[in-house]
Chains A and B, each alone.
Chain A
Amino acid sequence: MRDNLKKSFEIDGGVRNKPRDFVIKASEPADGGNKENIAVCMRGVSSEEQIRDPHSGELYPLFKNINLTVSSKEVWGISSNELNSVRLLSQVIGNMHGCREGLCSFGSVGTVLKKRRIIPHIFYIDTHKMLYPGKTVLEQLMFATAAALRFFGDTERQLKMLRLLENVGMGYIALSSISDLYDTEKILLELLIASESGSRLIVCDFTAYTFSQAEIGIMANIANRIRYLGKAAVIATMQPKLIGMICDSTLFVCRGEPIFCGSVEELNKYADKVAFILRDSNPKVLAKMLSCLLPGWQIKVSGENLYLYNYTDKQLKIEDFYSLLAKNGLTPESVRVNPGRVENSFEELMERYDIQRKTV
């Protein structure tokens, strides 16, 4: 642990470059099943709590049959169309709540029967109130790490803390009083402190918070640091953008059922069917012409924007698309390749799920 903590102060490492070269599927642990590297493993987990559908009045569990394996160096994002589903799921992962059936084991610790018991393995965050409002950010960080990192001298530790704050993008609030920070900034500071703790798994229930673009950027830096230190994190959020920017993998639950569990890249590839986004002053005419040129595609007009959905099996490269436009004398004001957005993917997943349910 001491080596791990010492490593944690190799500040330049693990913050800037996000390693995205691995794709993990939930059912197959990345390390080939090595228990030491598994932070949490869930098999067939279902919730005891049920939710009532406001329209049909039907009761269904907040989640059921969840299979999830989170290994070290992974950052997972969990989301759902129901706030309570994702909140409860994060509580079960954080050993804060029991489940009706299934197995939930925490790496080498195994299954913990006493719920809400503070175990060294997990660091759970669901509130911004853990900090002392009378302190500055640097003071709080120094105070929090004083016991765990006592092998560093005070001066050295303070310099390292300052550098750490700067590197994750929180340098601008280093000397601000905690009482002056936004709740989301406090949460980020807690996450940073958690990343420096001895816990291998950080479980964050961020469902009550909405982060700005800049704050998501800071969180991405902290997430990189968590990966670099060999830890794992599970972030429960209702902000798909956060999952897209930070997480390697995601679990999406709809009406209690896990409808996607895998990497974010896979999700976008699988569910986000928007291939190109075009902009034109006369979008309706352009849409009409393109629908003749691209059979099997779907075109949606929103303001001056056109969203081109590719529902065919064949991928269309951007250069081929440009040549198609040029051949037919079409000159839209701008053409963009959709980089893949988690919001679109989740929407698409829910639509498909609804269609599937109705068909069944």
Chain B
Amino acid sequence: MIYRERLFKKELRRSYLNSLSGGRRQFFMCVLMTLLTFAAHMLLRLAFEIVLTEYLPALTPPGSFSVAYSCNLTAYIFYIVYLSVKPDAGVLSELRDNKWYLFSKMGYKADRIIFFKTLVSLSSAVSVYAACFVTVSAISYALKYYFFAPYFLPFLVSGVLGVLLCAELLILSSLLSGGNNKTTRLIFLSALIINEVLKFTLGYYRLIGDEALMQNTANLFLPRYSLYCVIMAILVLILPLFFNSAIRRKSGYYLLKNEIGGIVSCGEQVFIGPDELDNVRKGSPLAIMARVILAFVLFASLICNSFILTASLSSSSREFSIFGYIPYVFRSATMEPLIRKNDLALFKKIDSQYPISVGDVVLFKSSPGSTEISVMKVTEVRDGNLTVDYLKYPIVYTPGSLKESVSRGKVYGVFYASNHIWGTIILLINTLPGRVLTILLPAAFLIFPKQLLAFLRRPKKAE
């Protein structure tokens, strides 16, 4: 086998097994992203059923719309996580290791290498995303899941824009940080936060949440709907030109591995005193602080979870009270706007002597010993009997048709307060991912910190 010079591009591609452009890595990422897309879609459907819709309605549009949207969202988050964990995927890791130095000394032109490497990085990111998007669409169509063709292109374009932006922001961060991984991550994540703020303020989420507008690709770039895509498209086109000149300038310099500066203290690392040795054994102050925070998070989440678990288990048959208050996660919209769906509502436990007046919202059982409980508003008080009614009727019922009369003796609680955020948290923590996030992970990191860190930092296998 002869290794020819004209195999330059092929050889260069083969050299990047660790980066985004390795063939096997691309395939693996595509499969993973497809699976994650469907998982995210199911989770969003679940979120639609509970509370997220109220906070982020753009994330939970119905039908096929959400499959395409889930794909874009998954790809975006996937690249953010991947590039944050592996900032070396950026072009400048080559510069940091002086790989370009060797080639520039051997007569290669830096421009050509820079151009090709940037192109390979960006095109790899886009091709992985595009392959994932097409696969997701094909699977949706094959499974006769909701699939609406006009959404295909607009979502693909917006997804490509998002992925390109991610990859270019990483290169920019790498350039600004001078190759330091921690600084690169910090700048990259800060840039992404700014990007998210821009998305919200420039109405990007409103635009892509609109089923009618998202049937035409041109709408993405019409300033009257949102300026975001226009600005980002310009940025995506301009950034590579900036990279080229900046990287060309940087590639003219060697990056020293063993930098020496100022006054060098000799022998500090060799002679460690007993006090310092204790510190070494205990770990750095930062590590101790991290453990304390982790322990606090675990303790707090354990208390929260035990409360939440009890609250979520509470029903008419298994009711409990804390300091005289009965908590309920309200799963009905019949008392809106006073108590919204998915609110955590607290009812004050009362006895038969407690004065109830018109306008109070009361908790009662239809009959003694019954498991069915109701929450209604008192509209009239007469002779020890209360007339109660719902605040909001479902569409199929005529207002006032569910009004009923309840004897005072059946009422044992009166509405005290409600909180929507706590209700949201309870519902989310009650899911499997919620339990893993709040209990299992902190506990695992607290109990097996070394093993987990060693696992996360395990050496790479030989290529």
Contacts and interface: CB of A to CB of B under 8 A. Distances in A.
A144 B5 contact: no
B26 to A, nearest CB: 15
Contacts of A134: 14-17, 463
Nearest to A114: B253
A318 interface: no
Interface in B1-54: 2-5, 8, 11, 14-18
B218 interface: no
Interface stretch (B261-269, B301-309, B347-355): B261-269
A127 B11 contact: no
B108 interface: yes
A155 B4 CA distance: 8
Interface residues of A, number: 56
Name the interface size band of chain B. Answer: 35 or more
Contact of A130 (B99, B262, B263): B99
A88 B260 contact: yes
B266 A52 contact: yes
Interface in A286-317: none
A144 B256 contact: no
A142 to B, nearest CB: 4
B438 interface: no
B8 A82 contact: no
Interface in A35-61: 49-54, 59
B4 A154 contact: yes
Q: Which of B108, B256, B268 has the most C-beta atoms of chain A within 10 angstroms of its own C-beta?
A: B256
Contacts of B264: 49-52, 62, 84
B284 interface: no
Contacts of A330: none
Contacts, number: 133
A130 B462 contact: no
A96 B256 contact: yes
A130 B101 contact: yes
B97 interface: yes
Interface string B98-121: 110111111110000000000000
A25 interface: no
A177 B260 contact: no
B271 interface: yes
Contacts of B108: 147
Interface stretch (A70-78, A192-200, A348-356): A192-200
B150 interface: no
Given A50-B263, A96-B256, A144 B16 contact: no
A75 B266 CA distance: 29
A154 B5 contact: yes
A199 B105 contact: yes
Contact of A179 (B97, B263, B462): B462
A133 interface: yes
Nearest to B16: A134
A82 B265 CA distance: 11
25 contacts: A50-B264, A51-B265, A52-B264, A52-B266, A54-B271, A84-B266, A87-B260, A118-B101, A118-B253, A126-B257, A129-B97, A129-B98, A129-B99, A133-B17, A134-B17, A146-B5, A146-B8, A147-B5, A147-B107, A148-B107, A180-B462, A193-B106, A197-B106, A198-B107, A199-B105
